[in-house]
Structure formats: structure tokens, C-alpha cells
Amino acid sequence: MATSKKPQGKKRGPIPKGKDDEGTKEKMIAATARHLAEFGPRGTEVGAVCKELDLSPSLVNYYFGGPDPLIWQAAMQSYADHVEAQRQALERAPDGKLAVETWVLNTIEWKQQNPGIAAVIDYPMLALSREEMAEADRLAKELSAVSRENVAITGSAVYSLMTGKAPKKLSSARVAALIKLNSEFAYWISAVGFGGFGAGAWIAGRKPYSAVWRAFGFSPDKQIRSTLREMTARLAKSDPGSLIDEEEK
């Protein structure tokens, strides 16, 4: 499971109020993730998290170096857990069609249930404070490792549907090689991936616009499912071409 690195360049001082129980750091991350999912990065107060856990607020600096690194680690852990759930769902799927549909619908559902966490993952430089902007490169590297795994899962589902083979997790390196090898495979990964992420972000934040869509008689949920069915039907008819050749090598 991917986890975030400790903030660099900060020395830990004395343990605040003797609170160094086993699992304290993990409890803080989990509680912050719950607050983050509900209230978002701007509404999450680490003081409220510490109060809920009956911990000294000074532990935020002691363990994480400040509120932003704690919020970032909470978001990263939640996202990593989501990606792991996607991997398990892929390998449980009976065929490629269900594997692709499950990945998209699970992505939408996760964003819908965790809009605050999704905001940090999708827009880290907007979600965090300006002081954390200096950590942009480090944050991007941490996020990219988990995101590559998610792309590999997406590619594995697309590969299964294009080739008719049973769903199986392919490595990130293998998916990257197949993207370069087969342009149609690359197209469908982007269509599925951007479709899932975009629809998820849109649905999670669509409430202000719901009255507008109702006025047009438009149901986003129904339309997304209809579009998804059409997309998987077309994907299943695509030519696997060199994907099969590569498998036989």
C-alpha cells in the first residue's frame, strides 16, 4: 500500500503531553480523512480532529510538520485504499465489459462519497495552502506512484475487453508498453479514464446545477450509465491487433 513520506527538514521535539501511543499517527490520518471527505480541505480543522481523538493539537506538528501535510497524507491514504479496491474489483470481474464498467462506476461513486478527498487528489495546488505550494514537486511524485497504479488497472480492464481475455492486473510497465504499441488501446484508456474521472468530478460537484438539468429533463446518472454501455459496446468491437501479437511473444 502506498503511503506518504514524512515532511523533510523538520526535527521532532519532545513528545507532547506524553501522547505517543502505538497507532496514534495512523488514527490521526484516518480521522482526518473522515473530516476531509465530509468538509473538504478548506473546512477540515485539525484541532477538531485532535479533540475528537482526545489528543494534543501539538501532535500535528510533531508527527506531520503542520496541518497541510496531515491533510495530504490523509487524502493520499484514502486514494491509495480506493485504488487497491479497484484492483480487487478488477480481478473479481468475470469479463472485460464488467471490469471496465465497474472501474468507471466505482470512480464516480468514490468521488461522490468523498468530494473533499477527491478535491485534494484532483487539484492539490488549489486544495492546499500557499505555504504548501513549495512542496508541489514532492506532492506530484507521491501522487504519481498511486495514479500510475490506477492507470494500470484501467488499462488492464480495457485490455481484457479488447482481447476477450479474463481480467487480470497488468503491470504499469506493461500497460505503458502497450500504449506505445497500439494507438487504439491508448485511445480507449484515455476515453475510459477521462470519462470516469470527469464524470465523477462533475457528479460530485453538480448540486448547484441540479435545478438547471431538471429543467431540461436531463438525468446525469442515467445518461452516464447509458453512455458507458455504448462505450463498452464499441470498445468490445475494437480491433486488438498487436495486443494479441504481443501476448503471444
What pLDDT is stored for residue 195 in this prediction? 85
Question: CA 139 to CA 104: how far, in whole Å?
Answer: 25
Domain assignment present for residue 96? The answer is yes
Phi, psi of 128 (to 5 degrees): -95, 175
Domain assignment present for residue 213? The answer is yes
Average pLDDT over residues 77-82: 94
Question: Which of the pair, 97 or 143, is modelled with greater confidence?
Answer: 97
8 pLDDT band, cuts 50/70/90, is: very low
**Is residue 78 scored above 60 in pLDDT?**
yes
C-alpha cell at 74: 490523509
Average pLDDT over residues 228-236: 91
Question: Which of the pair, 182 or 8, is modelled with greater confidence?
Answer: 182
Question: CA 132 to CA 138: how far, in whole Å?
Answer: 10
Q: Indicate the average pLDDT of the chain.
A: 82
Domain assignment present for residue 5? The answer is no
Domain assignment present for residue 217? The answer is yes
Domain assignment present for residue 181? The answer is yes
Average pLDDT over residues 225-248: 81
Residue-wise pLDDT tens digits, 111-125? 888 888 888 887 766
Residues 6 or more apart in contact with residue 16 via CB below 8 angstroms = 56, 58, 59, 62
Q: Which of 13-27, 145-159, 190-204, 232-246 has the largest mean confidence?
A: 145-159
Domain assignment present for residue 64? The answer is yes
| Nearest CA-CA partner of 165 in 240, 229, 231, 242 | 240
What pLDDT is stored for residue 185 in this prediction? 94
Domain assignment present for residue 11? The answer is no
Give the total number of structural domains in the chain: 1
**Structural domain boundaries enclosing 34:** 16-248
**Is residue 204 scored above 80 in pLDDT?**
no
Question: CA 95 to CA 249: how far, in whole Å?
Answer: 23
What pLDDT is stored for residue 82 in this prediction? 95
| Nearest CA-CA partner of 164 in 240, 64, 247 | 240
What pLDDT is stored for residue 116 in this prediction? 86
Three-state DSSP class for 195? helix
31 pLDDT band, cuts 50/70/90, is: very high
Domain CATH number, residue 223: 1.10.357.10
Domain assignment present for residue 6? The answer is no
| Nearest CA-CA partner of 73 in 132, 126, 134, 113 | 132
C-alpha cell at 100: 471496465
pTM of model > 0.85: no
What pLDDT is stored for residue 208 in this prediction? 53
**Is residue 216 scored above 80 in pLDDT?**
no
**Is residue 7 scored above 50 in pLDDT?**
no
Question: CA 163 to CA 15: how far, in whole Å?
Answer: 56
